[in-house]
Amino acid sequence: MNTPSSSQPVLRPALALFAILSIVTGLLYPLVVTGVAQTVLPRQAQGSLIQRDGQTMGSTLIGQAFTQPGHFWGRPSATAPEPYNAAASSGSNLGPSAPALAEAVKARIDALRAADPGNETPVPVDLVTASASGLDPHISVAAARYQVARVARARGLAPEAVAALVDAHTEGVAFGFLGEPRVNVLALNLALDAQRP
C-alpha cells in the first residue's frame, strides 16, 4: 500500500507563500515606494541631479574629482579604479596607525602645499583623508576657506568674491542640530564657473 509523501502537504503552501511574498516585496512594494518618492520628492528620487543648460553636470550626492587649480577640490576618494566610482563605494580600511595612511596623508598635504605655496594655515583634515564611502560630495567650511586664495588667484578673482561664494553655498546643520556646516563642492564649482572672470 502506497503512502502519500510527507513533503507534499508542506510544499504547496510553501510555494504559494513564496509566490505571494515575491509579488508583494518584489513588485508591489517597490512600485508603491517609487510612486510616492516620485510624487513627494521628485528631484531626490531622480538622484538629486544638477542640470545646467539641459546637460547633467552631476549629482549633489556624489563627489567629483576636480583637479584644476581654479576649482575647489573635494575630499580624497578611496574608490577604485577611479575616484568617486559609485559602483565601488568603500573606504580605504586603513587604521590611524597604518603606515600607508600616514604616507597618503603626507603626500596629500605636500600636494596641497605645492598648489598653494603661500598658504601657511593648517590643512583641514577632510582635505587629506577619504570618507567612509569614498563618495563624499561635501567638504567642511574650513576646507573650502583653505582653498579660497588658490582658486581666486587661478581665476583672477578677488579673494573676497570667492569667499562670498563659499558663504553663499554653505549648508547648515541638518534639522538644526545634526552634523556641522558643509559646502557641496560641485555646486560651489558650478557657481564659480558661472562667474567667468
Q: Do 170 and 127 fall within a single domain?
A: yes
Q: What is the pLDDT of residue 86?
A: 83
Q: Is residue 3 part of a domain?
A: no
Tell me: do 116 and 83 sit in the same domain.
yes
Q: Is residue 1 part of a domain?
A: no
Indicate whether 122 belongs to any domain: yes
Q: Both 52 and 39 in a single domain? A: no
Residue 63 in any domain: the answer is yes
Structural domain boundaries enclosing 141: 48-195
Q: Over pLDDT 90: what percentage of the chain?
A: 59
Residues 136 and 166 in one domain: yes
Answer yes or no: do 65 and 146 share one domain: yes
Instruction: Tell me the three-class secondary structure of 26-50, residue by residue.
Output: HHHHHHHHHHHHHHHCHHHHCCCEE
Residues 122 and 86 in one domain: yes
**CA 41 – CA 151 distance, rounded (Å):** 34
Amino acid 195: pLDDT: 81
Residue 173 lies in a domain: yes
Residue 59's SS3 state is: strand
129 and 149 together in one domain: yes
Decide if 2 is inside a domain. no
- What pLDDT shows up at residue 96? 85
Question: What is the residue type of 158?
Answer: A
Q: Which residues of the chain have pLDDT under 50?
A: none
Predicted confidence (pLDDT) per residue in 78-131, tens digit: 888 888 888 888 777 788 889 989 999 999 999 999 999 999 999 999 999 988
**Amino acid in position 104:** A
Does the residue 155 lie in any domain?
yes
Number of domains in the chain: 2
**φ, ψ of residue 181 in degrees (nearest 5):** -55, 145
- Find out whether 54 and 126 touch, Cβ atoms under 8 Å: no
Q: How far is CA 40 from the centre of its chain?
A: 23
pTM of the model: 0.78
Co-location of 53 and 20 in the same domain: no
- d(CA 27, CA 57) in angstroms, rounded, equals 32
Cβ pair 73, 108 in contact under 8 A:
no
pLDDT of residue 1: 52
Predicted pLDDT at 44: 81
Asked if residue 39 and residue 61 are part of one domain, the reply reads: no
If asked whether residues 84 and 32 sit together in one domain, one would say no
Non-local CB neighbours of 78 within 8 Å, separated by 6+ positions: 90, 91, 92, 130, 134
C-alpha distances in angstroms, 106 versus 4, 14, 103, 109, 133? 73, 59, 5, 5, 21
Do 31 and 99 reside in the same domain of the chain? Answer: no
- CB–CB of 70/131 below 8 Å? no
